[in-house]
Amino acid sequence: MNNMTISSNTNVTALLKEYALPSPLGFGRELAPIMYRADYMDGAWKQGQLIPFGEVGINPAATCVQFGQQCFEGMKAYKVAQSSPALFRPEMNFARLRKSAARLCMPAPLSGIFVDAVKQLTRTLEPFIPSESGQSLYLRPTLLGLDPTFAVKGSERYCFLLIASPSDAYYTAPIKVMVEREHSRAAKGGTGSEKVGGNYAGSLQATERSIAAGFDQPIWLDAATSKNIEELSGMNFMAVINGALHTPALSGTILSGVTRSSLFEIARSIGMDVVERTMPIDELLTDIRTGACTELFACGTAAIISPISEIGDTETRQALPDVDNVARQLKTILLDIQEGRGEDTFDWMADTRDTDTLIKRLNGAPA
Ligand SMILES: Cc1ncc(COP(=O)(O)O)c(C=O)c1O
C-alpha cells in the first residue's frame, strides 16, 4: 500500500511538472491530468488518494455500466480575488450526492473522504486554476457501482472519483427553448430529483428534436399532466412576472439546484418577491403575450444563468421582451460573492485550506 502511494504521488508530481493549460480552455473540455479515487469494499470506505487521470478499468458487466448505478455532482472551485481556492456551498453538493446515492442504494463517500478529495485535488491543482472572472476549476464528484452482475441488484464495491476541469466561463448566447410534449424527464417516484446519469441519457432524444426544430434545448413538463413546467435538462427554470421571480416548486421530480436556491436569497435581498409554485405552460405563454411576463432564464452551476430569448414548439414561438435584464443583475451579485469581490453576506464560501470548517459544514454542524 505504501509503495502504491509513493509511486502514485511520484506520477502525480511528474505529470503536473509537464502540464500546461491549453488556450482557449473552453468549459468542461480540458481534463486535469490528476484525479482523486477512493474505494468502498468489505463494507467500508478506504482512504483515497490522488492518481493520474485516465481510464479506470471498469468491468463491462459492472452495475454502473449495465444498470446505471451511478450518480454525480457538479461544483466549482474559484480563485479569482481569493488567496486560496474557495468552494461555493459545498455542503449542498455533498447533501445532494448523498441523496442521489441513497436513491440508488449506493454508499455515499464519508464527509472526511469528500473533503480530502476536494482539498487534495484543488490544492494540488492550485497553480492551474485559471483566475480571470468567470473561470474556475470545475469539479465532478462521481460515484460508480463496480460489481459485475447481470442480476438486477446493487454492488458491494464502489468507487468515488473526483475529476477536475480547469474551465473558462460558460458563456451562452440567449437560448431558445422548445416545450417538450412527447417525452417526460421524470415522473413522481422516479429519479428526477436526484443527479443520476439515466436522467440525462433519457433527455438526449428530445434535445436532438428541439435542435432539429430550430431551438437549443427542450423545456420539460410534468409527466402526470403534461401541463406544468418543470425544468431544463441540466438547469432550473425561472420567469420574471410582474417584477417577481417565479419558479416551479420542487415537486419531487425536479433537481433542487444550488444556484436556484442561492438566486432566491439574492433576489429577496434586492427586494424581489420569490414565488415557488405550479407553473402551467399555457398560463406562462399567456403572461408573455400580455406583457406580464417579461423575462425567462435558466440557472445552474456551469452557466450560472442562461437567458432565454424564445419559447415555443413546432407550431408557435414567442420572443421575450427582456433578455438578460434581471438575470444579469442577479448573476453579477452571485459571481461577485463566488469570486471573492463582494461581501459574502450569506456565508456561502468555504476556504479549501480549512478542513475542520469544511467537515463541519458537510456534517451540517454550525461552522
Ligand atoms: C437537471 C438539472 N437541474 C438543475 C441543475 C442546476 O443545479 P445546480 O444549480 O446545483 O448546478 C442541474 C445541474 O446540476 C441539473 O442537472
pLDDT digits (tens, 9 = 90+) for 330-350: 999 999 999 999 999 999 999
Please report, for the chain, the start and end positions of each structural domain, with discontinuous segments joined by +.
2-170+347-362, 175-323
* Residue 355, pLDDT above cutoff 60: yes
Check residue 6 and give its pLDDT.
47
Looking at domain 2-170+347-362, its CATH class is alpha beta
pLDDT category, 225, cuts 50, 70, 90? very high
Residue 81 has, within 13 A of its CA and on its CB side, a CA count of: 12
| Mean of per-residue pLDDT scores for the chain | 95
Confidence of residue 3 (pLDDT cuts 50, 70, 90): very low
Q: pLDDT of 131-146, one tens digit each?
A: 999 999 999 999 999 9
Q: In the structure, what pLDDT confidence band is assigned to residue 48 with cuts at 50, 70 and 90? A: very high
Percent of the chain with pLDDT over 90: 95
Atom 15 (ligand 1) nearest CA = 234
DSSP 272-332: --EEEE--BHHHHHHHHHHTSEEEEEEEETTTEEEEEEEEE-SS-EEE-S-SSSHHHHHHH
Asked whether the domain spanning 175-323 has the same topology as the one spanning 2-170+347-362, the reply is no
pLDDT tens-place string over residues 242-282: 999 999 999 899 999 999 999 999 999 999 999 999 999 99
CA 220, CA 204: separation in Å to the nearest integer?
A: 12
Q: Are 96 and 256 in contact (CB under 8 A)?
A: yes
Ligand 1 probe mutation, 301, 330, 338, most atoms within 8 A of CB = 301
Nearest alpha carbon, ligand 1 atom 1: 234
* Per-position DSSP letters for 321-363, written without gaps between them: S-SSSHHHHHHHHHHHHHTTSS--TT--EEETT-HHHHHHHHT
In a 10 Å sphere around its CB, with 0-12 CB exposed, 13-18 middle and 19+ buried, how is residue 340 labelled? middle
- CB–CB of 160/109 below 8 Å? yes
**Region 175-323: CATH code:** 3.20.10.10
C-alpha cell at 164: 477536475
pTM for the predicted model, two decimal places: 0.95
Q: Is 10 helix (H, G, I), strand (E, B) or coil?
A: helix
Q: What average pLDDT does this structure show over 279-295?
A: 97
Burial class (CB in 10 A: 0-12, 13-18, 19+), 270: exposed
> Can you tell me which atom of ligand 1 is nearest the CA of 255?
3
Instruction: Give the three cell numbers for residue 299.
Output: 440557472
Alpha-carbon distance of 177 to 41, in angstroms, equals: 44
